Amino acid sequence: MRVRTEATYRLVGGGSARAVTEMLGLEPTIAAEVGDRRGRSTVSVPYWFLSSGLPTDAELADHLDWLLDRLEPRQAELWRLVEAGYTADWFCLAASHATEHAVELDRALLARLLAVPGDLLIDVTGDD
């Protein structure tokens, strides 16, 4: 059974990525400020992303648990950032060979996700 999963907590817009890092006391996996060059483009909206540090063959729930372990203690700050104009979401990938893998998110995990701002986005695709 082949499966590839990833999860990233994303904050976009608002003031600046630097302000997010300072408020949360967490180093992002990747961040950019308005005017930064990314490839051939210039960043027009700041962003701050934190991806799980787990291997891509871990379960999606494990990636989300990893992120929540770091973000839950900072949920008040995250809600303040959203109130200040940042957009938050959980961007997840589940890539599997056709019908070979089910993603399970139990009620306890879903309750934890609800305590932290952000919509849950799951990109489901084949493994190629």
3-31: per-residue pLDDT in tens?
789 999 999 998 899 999 999 999 999 99
Residues with Cβ within 8 Å of 71's Cβ and at least 6 positions away in sequence, in order, are: 9, 26, 50, 78, 116
Taking the model in full, what pTM does it have? Answer: 0.92
Show me where the domains of the chain are located: 3-125
* pLDDT tens readout for residues 39-86: 899 999 999 999 999 998 899 999 999 999 999 999 999 999 999 999
Higher-pLDDT residue of 126 and 66 is 66
Higher-pLDDT residue of 94 and 79 is 79
